[in-house]
Amino acid sequence: MHDEVIAGRYRLDGRLGGGETAEVWAATDLELDRKVAVKLLARGADPRRFRREARAVAALAHPNVATLYDYGEAGERPFMAFEYLSGGSLEERLAGGPLGDNEVERVTRDLAAGLAYAHAHGILHRDLKPANVLFDASGNAKLADFGIAQVADEAGLTSAGTVLGTASYLAPERAAGEAATPASDVYAFGVVLFRMLTGRLPFESRNALDLAAMHRDRPPPSVTNFREDAPARLESLAFAALAKSPSDRPPDGGALQAELGRTPPLRRG
């Protein structure tokens, strides 16, 4: 498909990645002469989820959420055209271990802001993980890939007992088959923050079912178990976000922002 022009407008320049449900291409918008990222639905994948992602992201216009430019079909395959984010992913940055404290602070604030905006508009991400955090050329972190996003009051395409997302970042209530809430995104945020500070996950296993059980049943380790000099504010925020019960966590992205705006660190218990 290299150099193919879809919808009479987007030239596919190089494949960036993909999976079972979609593939992502670096592309050129020939109408506006700008670089974009084109996400194409994989053949045989469910177009309803794809449309739901488009509708969810189209409702969001925020500096810390990847911007959707266009939606359409190319040869009966739905596609989305997003802003092109040249700074790579948080997963790539974490390949070398924990991030520096200043960078962790910046990324944490960006993610909290993006989640706060999405939650305020009734959108749950449900798959927050480093691979879905992308950076623009200025180093701003942006939430991307709302592929299993859900409108909070919508009777969605998945039942409460269906577990979606990545097991390493799965909230305990979702591992137990319960419905996602904004607090479920907060838990995933806590896992991401834990990894940025320590370079590792709070729970590790090669088996997804074992991981889900750990998130559901085991108390999380403290950041200070692996890094005694972690900034108290961020260590405390990770602790709060990783609470087993949703009612014991900051309830949503707005609460995360509020906690980050406080001068003293969060109290435990």
Please identify every residue annotated as catalytic.
Answer: 127
Torsion of CA 135, 141, 147, 151, to 10 degrees: -160
**What span, in angstroms and rounded, lies between the C-alpha atoms of 112 and 94?**
19
Cα-Cα-Cα-Cα dihedral sign, residues 189, 194, 196, 201:
negative
- Residue in 177, 131, 6 with CA at minimum distance from that of residue 79: 6
Token digits of residue 144: 């991307």
DSSP bridge partners of 70: 81
**What span, in angstroms and rounded, lies between the C-alpha atoms of 201 and 87?**
23
Residue the block writes with tokens 């009612």: 247
Q: For the chain, where are the E strands, in sequence order?
A: 5-6, 10-18, 22-29, 34-41, 68-74, 77-83, 123-124, 133-135, 141-143, 150-151
**What span, in angstroms and rounded, lies between the C-alpha atoms of 55 and 97?**
35
